[in-house]
Amino acid sequence: MLTRLLGALFLLAAVAAAWFWSGYQDFLDQPLQVPEEGLVLEVPPGTNLKALARRLQAQGVLRNADYLYWHARLEKLAHRIRAGEYQLSAGITPVGLIQQLVSGKTILHSLTLLEGWSFKQMMAEIAASEVLTHELQGLSDEQIMQRIGHPGVHPEGRFFPDTYAFPRGTTDTDFLRRAFRRMQQELEAAWQQRSQEKAVVKTPEEALILASIIEKETGVPEERAQIAGVFSRRLQINMKLQTDPTVIYGMGERFKGNIRRKDLREDTPYNTYVHKGLPPTPICMPGRDAIDAALNPEDGKALYFVAKGDGSHAFSATLEQHNAAVRKYQLKK
């Protein structure tokens, strides 16, 4: 009697195992219920595969949560899934899903930092991002620099303007660390390639400051090296730079769109009409072209330039020529 009972139990177990294995194999080959346009799957940090599989089954995407979990266990992948957003394509199978979750190939979002932006403008753009995780809101500039590992460093101009790709959930702290590190790398690379005969700046720090002024002075790429040449010659002969963007930066929130005579005489650390040499810090984020121009200024004799009204400038070697250009382009109205 006992032998028959054991035999029956063994037979039932074998049938159940065969049924499970058959269903399991069929499950692995069957595509998930993903619409033709695809599906975005968000896996929050700390999510385990069993909970994720049950969520997908409840949503009608997955036919059997247990099969998916046991497949990952058998392949020793259950604890290797990575958080993030995933773009699931129509036709993806459970095997493909696990492979994608383990690969960490998440959806990447982007955020662009523009040349010429101030630190304040950059932080406003970062704060407006809906895909970054915000940790720095409400902190002072000094606290932000401390959080990213550079206490005591003035933040202006320290972040490289570019388009950055990152997965959802990236912190604004990590984003800033990346942009700061990128500026260090770009500045160091440009410094190594500088023209030692033409460059008048003595350190990468000075190059960054001069580049930020060049960035704000012209929107015409072809003029950057010319403007760099003017400023470099002025620095060489100890002549004041007399550049409006530094005055505007020194005015801060008080600048309302126009510079008055008294603003040009105001003694701020950034007023290059008052002080000789470079201002104490950059005044914006310069791009690589502006940095290259600062380190490779164009030869010439021009010591002055004036805006022509179309975005470009007229360059002059003497004050007399400069005054004539001012009358022609600035006072003609």
Give Dmax over CA atoms of the chain in angstroms.
121
Please check whether residues 324 and 195 belong to one and the same domain.
Answer: yes
User: 147: buried, middle or exposed (CB in 10 Å: 19+, 13-18, 0-12)?
Assistant: middle
Q: Count the neighbouring beta carbons within 10 Å of the beta carbon of residue 135.
A: 13
* Any domain includes 127: yes
* Any domain includes 77: yes
Please check whether residues 121 and 71 belong to one and the same domain.
Answer: no
* Any domain includes 315: yes
Please check whether residues 127 and 160 belong to one and the same domain.
Answer: yes
* Any domain includes 20: no
Provide the token pair at 143. Answer: 């606290």
Give the model confidence (pLDDT) of 296-317 as tens digits. Answer: 999 999 999 998 888 889 999 9
Give the model confidence (pLDDT) of 147-170 as tens digits. Answer: 999 999 999 999 999 999 999 989
Lowest mean pLDDT among 134-148, 156-170, 252-266: 252-266
Please check whether residues 200 and 276 belong to one and the same domain.
Answer: yes
* Dist. CA 158–CA 186, nearest whole Å: 11
Instruction: Quote the pTM value.
Output: 0.84
Domains in the chain: how many in total? 3
Rg (CA), the chain: 31
Provide the token pair at 54. Answer: 């049950």
For 123, the domain range is 108-188
Please check whether residues 319 and 196 belong to one and the same domain.
Answer: yes
* Dist. CA 159–CA 178, nearest whole Å: 8
In sign, the C-alpha dihedral spanning 137, 139, 145, 149 is negative
CATH of the domain at 99: 3.30.1490.480
